Amino acid sequence: MEKTIISDISLVIPCYNEEFRLNKEGFISFSQANPHVTLCLVNDGSKDKTKEIIEELQRDCHNIYSLHISENVGKAEAVRRGILYIKEQIQTSYIGYFDADLSTPLDFANQLQLILETEPQLWMVFGSRQLAPQEKIKRRKRRHAAGRIVSKLINLSLNIHFADTQCGAKLFRRNTIEALFEEPFVSTWVFDVELIHRIKKIHAHTSIESLVREIPVSSWHDVGESKVSPFYFFKLLRELVKIRRS
């Protein structure tokens, strides 16, 4: 793919064994309605037919691209490689990532872009389920409660004050990508938090809340059957320690 001016926004969509969850119609509809947005679907070593579905989407939509990784490297590294791929291959003003299940609608990226355009000091803007009106959020009560606990642990551990760092809808300025994504993440799981930590380290004498903004998601719906176990919180604490030491 030649390096040309392609879009205002480019989004990485990490995919691992998404054969039965990828909403092909949703991706096609969004791509047709938003020609200023480029999507890069990253196949993270899937063992099912995810690769074939991504290639089909790429054939159907001029603004959908793909990156195939031969072995499963995990969401953090898949996102990082996708972001760097976009930076090298596509001239675009804003780069971000969204979840493959489309729990947050892709058109929410337009709202994130508007924030970055109007507030030039920001490095990053992301969606928050906790700040959104509850009628906009379709989420099981157990996961909602777990999310509140996770947010408290993250904020206490890293001395930050955000309501929902784990929502999979984030956007960055192109000129911040090298500083934030060039080095591999030490965290394999809560890399979203590590990104905020990296910004905090770069601007040690500036309030992180003045550089990172969270805004309510337009809507969000629970997808899949993921469950929260006690091991989840032990893993979180271990990851947070690694981030603090980085």
CATH number at residue 47: 3.90.550.10
Instruction: Kindly state whether residues 85 and 134 are assigned to the same domain.
Output: no
Listed residues 75, 102, 129: the one ending a domain:
102
Nearest to 210 by CA among 218, 197, 200, 219: 200
Model confidence over 130-147: pLDDT tens digits? 888 887 887 666 666 667
Instruction: Kindly state whether residues 51 and 173 are assigned to the same domain.
Output: no
32-41, 118-127, 224-233: which has the minimum mean pLDDT?
Answer: 224-233
The arithmetic mean of pLDDT across residues 56-81, rounded, is 97
Instruction: Kindly state whether residues 98 and 215 are assigned to the same domain.
Output: no
Say if residue 61's pLDDT is above 80: yes
The arithmetic mean of pLDDT across residues 27-44, rounded, is 97
Tokens standing for 69? 């990784």
Instruction: Kindly state whether residues 182 and 208 are assigned to the same domain.
Output: yes
Cut 0.85: pTM above it: yes
CA dist list (Å): 88 to 1, 71, 182, 218 = 10, 22, 12, 31
Determine the Cα angle at 161 with ends 83 and 100, to 5°: 35
Model confidence over 173-202: pLDDT tens digits? 999 999 999 999 999 889 999 999 999 999
pLDDT at 196: 97
Instruction: Kindly state whether residues 91 and 131 are assigned to the same domain.
Output: no
Domain that holds residue 94: 1-102
By CB neighbour count within 10 A (0-12 exposed, 13-18 middle, 19+ buried), where does 230 fall?
exposed
Average pLDDT for the chain: 91
Listed residues 69, 102, 135: the one ending a domain:
102
Say if residue 230's pLDDT is above 70: no
Listed residues 39, 70, 102: the one ending a domain:
102
**Structurally, how many domains does the chain consist of?**
2
Instruction: Kindly state whether residues 119 and 67 are assigned to the same domain.
Output: no
Instruction: Kindly state whether residues 116 and 214 are assigned to the same domain.
Output: yes
The pLDDT > 90 percentage for the chain reads 76
pLDDT at 75: 96
Instruction: Kindly state whether residues 115 and 237 are assigned to the same domain.
Output: yes
